[in-house]
A and B are shown apart, each in its own frame.
Chain A
């Protein structure tokens, strides 16, 4: 199975756009990419999912290039409450389904 890696941490200022990249260099055509936000001692919360090109919802966008070796979560105009750990998760859909988390990125939003 592909290993998914993310930057360990990032800092940003309020109002800025934040882009967090996940590397997953060996995923199959129908494998899915999902992203989660986690606050301390809480369960991860689903943000967005997709498997190709671009997906946008009310809180984020997900960009997946044609080679699908990486994906980027984009958070527009972050606020202090967006300080959290962000995980990508690849869903391997061939045969039995395995949901494998990336290493997580600790985002700190500064005033």
Chain B
């Protein structure tokens, strides 16, 4: 089954304790991205990657890091989480190109609480 898998689904952590949220896709998609969703603010792009070793900042990259060492994986790293990073996080992937289109497949989400 074609899917994007995020782990964990729920995470409660303390301020300053480094954490990683994993994301993996099995569709050989070039493009992968991370979003955070907050009430009243919609879905905001954190980082994206157009292919292996190619990453770029989205609209809200502060406090986050990413890496793309393999095509299928795109982990999100919070080096020193703070309470304002409490949010619902989604990973997504898509093909790129007018022939194949740009439709995203999303993961199930990770609800992160930083206390």
Contacts and interface: CB of A to CB of B under 8 A. Distances in A.
Contacts of A103: 42
Contacts of B48: 97-99
Interface of A: 30, 32, 34, 36, 41-46, 49, 51, 87, 89, 91, 93, 96-104
A72 B103 CA distance: 17
Given A99-B33, A100-B45, A41 B88 contact: yes
A32 B94 CA distance: 13
Contacts of A99: 33, 45, 48, 92, 94, 102, 104
Given A51-B98, A98-B58, A99-B33, A46 B105 contact: yes
Given A43-B108, A98-B48, 6 more contacts: A43-B107, A43-B109, A46-B105, A49-B101, A97-B50, A101-B45
B14 to A, nearest CB: 24
Given A32-B101, A103-B42, A43 B58 contact: no
7 closest cross-chain pairs (CB), A and B: A43-B106, A46-B103, A91-B102, A101-B43, A32-B102, A43-B90, A44-B106
A49 to B, nearest CB: 5
Contacts of A97: 31, 48, 50, 96
Contacts of A89: 104
Contacts of B108: 42-43
Contacts of B90: 43-44
Interface in B38-54: 42-45, 48, 50
Contacts of B111: 41
B62 interface: no
Contacts of A93: 102
B31 to A, nearest CB: 6
A43 B56 CA distance: 22
